[in-house]
Every structure is written in C-alpha cells, then in structure tokens.
Amino acid sequence: MKTARLLPLCCLALAACRPDMFNQPRYKPYAEDTFFQDGASARPIPPHTVARGRLDEDEQFHTGKEDGKLVEAFPFPITRQILARGRERFEIYCSVCHGSAGDGNGMIVQRGFPAPPSFHIDRLRRTPPGHLFDVMTRGYGVMYSYAARVAPEDRWAIAAYIRALQQSHNARIGDVPPDERAKLEAMKP
Amino acid sequence: MAQIFSPRANTFARIGIGGAVGLVIAFTWTWNTLYWSPYATWVGVPREQPVPFSHKHHVAGLGIDCRYCHTSAENSSFAGLPPTETCMTCHSQLWTNARLLAPVRESLATNIPIRWNRVNDLPDFVYFDHGIHIHKGIGCTTCHGPVDQMPLTWKANTLYMKWCIDCHRDPERFIRRRDQVFNAKWQAPSDQQEEGLKLLRDYHVNTTGQLTNCSICHR
C-alpha cells in the first residue's frame, strides 16, 4: 500500500528529468533537420518570390539604375545622420579590404587579397553614385555582392560616405565653412 | 516478552542517522559542484567545429567587425551564423587550397550549409532576444567573454537563470555606450557605477524590477 502511494511521486520526479521542454519539437532559426537533403530546416526561397511589402518597385532606389542607365543622383537628400550611418556601415563591411580611407589597402589586401582600386582615382571620382550602389548590390569582379547583408538604404548611405571620402582627399580651405576655417588655421603647424 | 532492540541498537541508530545526514550533504555537495562545473555548463571548454574557425585570428588579427559575419545580431532575436558565401567573400581568393577550408569549399559546391556545433544554447522554454540587449548597451563580450581571444569558441557564462537575473536586477554594472557594444576590447571604467546609472536613464532601461518577472523570459 505504502509503495503504491509513492508511485505518483516517483513518476513526478522522473518526469522532471525528461528533456522534452529543453528541446521542444519546433525549429529555432537555422536548426538542423534530417528530412531535407541539405540538412537545414530553413528552406531556400523559390526564385521570384516577393516578400510582403517588398515589391521593390522603385527601380532607382533598389537597383541604382533607371531604364538600364546608372542614376546620376542620390534618391534621397544626404544629411549628416546618413553620412554617419554610411561611415559606420563602411567600417563594418568595406574597410577590411578598401581601408578606412578608401585607398584600397585594407588588412585583407595586406594578407594577399587582390587589391581593389583606390576610390581616389579619377574614374571612380567621376563615376555616378548609381555605379557605387550597383557594385555593392551585384558585386564586381572578384568582389562579392553585399546585398544580402547591407539593406538598400544603407548601401546608399555607404555610397554617400564614399563620396565624402573622395571629397576629403581633394578639399581646399575654400570649401570649409568660414566659421570652421579659423579652427583649422589655428591647427596649422 | 523479550527485548527486540539490544542496548547496542542505540549506537547503530545514531550512526545510521548521522550517516544518512552525511550522505544527503555529500550528495548535495557533489550534485551542486557538478551542476556548476564545466561538465554540466561547458563554460571555458573550446568546442570542436567542422572547420577550426578562429575568432582570435579573424577578429583580433584581421580586425573584422562582428557584424560582418553575425549580421542580424543588431535587429533580431537570433545573432546569426555566417552563411558559406560570407566566408567565401575572402576565401574565394585567400587560402584557396588550404585543407582546413575544404569543408567550406565543399559546402559552396554542394549548397549544403556547414553544420556548426552550437556553443551557447538555451533551453527552448526560455525566450531570449539579442536585439534588445544590443540596443540597451549590453556588449557582446559581457555575455560571450573575450571572443576575440578564442582560437576555438567557448562558452564564457553558464547561461543559467541565476546569471540572467543577476544582471537584470542591476544592469548598471555592465551597461556601456551603444557605440562600444561591438568593441571586444572594452573595459569597465573606474566610475562604472555612476556612468551605468546615467546610461540606464539615457537608454530608458526598465528599472521598476519588472525585468525579473518570470514572464519576461518564460513566455
């Protein structure tokens, strides 16, 4: 009789040891799955699928082209905030190869990666912003596409920051606003 | 009627009780020690991986930002492990014949993802989100330890409930400026306490004690 009363207690104690709740029958992101041949539970998206709200109708904004021609202007006004965002993204995704100043001698290049052209050569200084956007979106030569990791807004922000870098290499004292000029003059050795 | 217990039984009873208590203590001690030891927690144990990927080499040596590979850490519950293409942005040109990298090339060719062994893995009944912690100024290294010094990644904290709660009670000890979140070299300044309290206010961190409510983590 005594043992019978203990039985539910034992069951409870044992139940507490079962790992059901630790590994529940659902998938966490990118979990393994043996059902599909590639072993992944996340399925590749069929080509031409359009995510909700992502019709990407704005050709200029999403491809940097208009009727197949590279756009000559940025699709939105460039503010200080956008430049700051562009700088941050550039330092994360681009500077390892292109270098923080855009000279094309980042750490990975120093370790043997084919050297990209400097952003300060004439051709790239004159190239339309659409080209910079297009390089990031579709890749260029040995450089892979960054579209999967950098959102379109950020790609434009990076393009704007590259423009700022290019300008910084050819700035004259006349380009500096008058109230800031004095500060620079004071720093002159 | 004859006596059932001899006088000696008293001694046996005492030893028995003492022994039982001792056994319980010994069992509790052993269990507790094991529970907090690396056997159970895996803290500090480098995890074998199909490719011996080194954060020390790529982060401290080459200066690659966490987000180059863990792209979704900022905005998502899941920090994300890099797809094979991310490795290939560099290794399509570098170390292209290295035997170490054979699984990476094979993965690209066959389109079968690399199967990384998980280092940090919470039980499925716990809700966790990277995004909120990053936005409120909790750095990667606070939870993951000196990742930039790890040749093979290991777990730096137990991820037990006690660990989460210890921080949720007073996060001012760990909070840092948002622009320092990804900095693996960050050290707490000497005035962390004041600085932390100021940041809690600036970032509107919930200080009403709600962060320790069960339903925050068990939804």
SS3 per residue for chain A:
CHHHHHHHHHHHHHHCCCHHHCCCCCCCCCCECCCCCCCECCCCCCCCCCCCCCCCCCHHHHHCEECCEECCCCCCCCCHHHHHHHHHHHHHHCHHHHCCCCCCCCHHHHCCCCCCCCCCCHHHHHCCHHHHHHHHHHCECCECCCCCCCCHHHHHHHHHHHHHHHHHCCCCHHHCCHHHHHHHHHHCC
- β-pairing, A65-66 vs A69-70, is antiparallel
Q: Do B75 and B30 share a domain, yes or no?
A: no
Per residue in A33-92, pLDDT tens?
Answer: 888 888 888 888 898 899 888 888 888 899 999 888 999 999 999 999 999 999 999 999
What percent of chain B has a predicted confidence (pLDDT) above 90? 80
Residue A40 pairs with which residues in a beta bridge?
Answer: A32
Residue A160 domain flag: yes
B75 and B176 both lie in a single domain? yes
Whole-number Cα distances in Å, B56 to A55, B64, B77, B132, B148 = 41, 10, 25, 26, 5
Residue B59 lies in a domain: no
Nearest CA in chain A to B112: A38
Quickly state the pLDDT bin for A29 (edges 50, 70, 90). Answer: confident
Closest CA to B127 of B205, B39, B38, B211: B211
CB-based contact B65 A108, cutoff 8 Å: no
More confident residue, B111 or A136: A136
B92 interfacial to chain A (CB closer than 8 Å):
yes
Note whether B186 and B139 are within 8 A (CB). yes
Provide the angle, in degrees to the nearest 10, between the axes of the packed helices B102-110 and B84-91: 120
Please name the residue that has the structure tokens 């339903």: B215
Judge whether A33 lies within some domain: no
Contact A112 B93 (CB under 8 A): yes
Q: What pLDDT, on the 0 to 100 scale, is given for residue A17?
A: 54
Cα B45 to Cα B39: distance, rounded to the nearest angstrom: 9
Identify whether A53 is part of a domain. Answer: no
Count the domains in chain A. Answer: 1
Work out the minimum CA distance from A21 to partner chain B, whole angstroms: 6
pLDDT at A6 over 90: no
Q: Do B81 and A108 touch (CB under 8 A)?
A: no
Q: Does the pLDDT value for residue A162 go beyond 80?
A: yes
Residue from A32, A33, A97, A108 whose CB has the most chain B CBs within 10 Å, to mutate: A108
Strand partners, A70: A65
CB B100 within 8 A of CB B174: no
Which comes out higher in pLDDT, residue A185 or B59?
Answer: B59
Question: What average pLDDT does chain B have?
Answer: 93
Contact B71 A149 (CB under 8 A): yes
Q: Is residue B114 part of a domain?
A: no
Residues spanned by the domain of A144: 76-172
Which CATH number fits the domain that encloses residue A134? Answer: 1.10.760.10
Chain A residues near any Cβ of chain B (below 8 Å) = 21-24, 26, 28-30, 32, 37-40, 91-93, 96, 107-108, 111-114, 142-144, 148-149
A148, A77 in Cβ contact below 8 A? Answer: no
What pLDDT, on a 0 to 100 scale, did the predictor assign at position A73? 92
Domain containing B144 equals 66-81+120-217
Q: Is residue B51 part of a domain?
A: no
Contacts of A21 in chain B (CB under 8 A): 123-125
Residue B205 within any structural domain of the chain:
yes
* pLDDT over 70 at A16, yes or no: no
Any idea what DSSP says for residue B203?
Answer: T
- In sequence order, what are the residues at sequence separation of 6 or more whose Cβ sits closer than 8 angstroms to the Cβ of residue B155? B41, B42, B43, B44, B45, B47, B119, B120
- Spatial distance between the Cα atoms of A155 and A135, rounded to a whole number of angstroms: 10
Residues B139 and B192 in one domain: yes
Count of domains for chain B: 2
Is B209 inside a domain boundary? yes
Q: Is B86 on the interface with A (CB under 8 A)?
A: yes
A66 assigned to some structural domain: no
Q: For B81, name the nearest residue in chain A, comparing CA atoms only.
A: A30
Tell me which chain B residues have a C-beta less than 8 angstroms from the C-beta of A29: 77-78, 80
Is A80 inside any structural domain? yes
pLDDT higher than threshold 80 for residue B1: no
Q: What pTM was estimated for this model as a whole?
A: 0.91
Indicate if B76 and B22 belong to the same structural domain: no
Classify residue B3 as exposed, middle or buried by CB count within 10 Å of its CB (0-12, 13-18, 19+): exposed
Q: What are the backbone dihedrals phi and psi of residue B135, each rounded to the nearest 5 degrees, phi first?
A: -70, -25
User: Contacts of residue B65 in chain A, CB cutoff 8 Å?
Assistant: 91-93
Distance from CA of B174 to the nearest CA of A (A): 24
Q: Is residue A31 part of a domain?
A: no
Torsion angle of the four alpha carbons B52, B53, B54, B55, in this order, in degrees rounded to the nearest 10: -150
Whether residue B92 and residue A30 make contact (CB cut-off 8 A), yes or no, is: no
Answer whether A108 sits within 8 Å of B94, measured CB to CB: yes
pLDDT tens-digit map of B121-131? 999 999 999 99
Identify all chain A residues contacting B92, using CB atoms and an 8 Å cutoff: 142, 144
Residues B74 and B35 in one domain: no
What is the pLDDT at residue A11? 44
A159 found inside a domain: yes
Strand partners, A66: A69
Residue of B nearest to A99 (CA): B63
How close are the terminal C-alpha atoms of chain A, in Å?
A: 98
B95-117 pLDDT, tens digit per residue, is: 888 899 999 999 999 988 999 99
Paired tokens of B52: 């011996």
Q: Which residue of B has its CA nearest to A29?
A: B78
Whether B219 has its CB under 8 Å from any CB of chain A: the answer is no
**Is the residue at B76 inside a domain?**
yes
Asked if pLDDT for residue A15 goes beyond 50, the answer is no
Please check whether residues B37 and B124 belong to one and the same domain. Answer: no
Contact A39 B111 (CB under 8 A): no
- Asked if A96 and A107 touch (Cβ cutoff 8 Å), the reply is yes
Average pLDDT over residues B186-199: 92
Residue A107 lies in a domain: yes
Q: How confident is the model at residue A177 (pLDDT cuts 50, 70, 90)?
A: confident
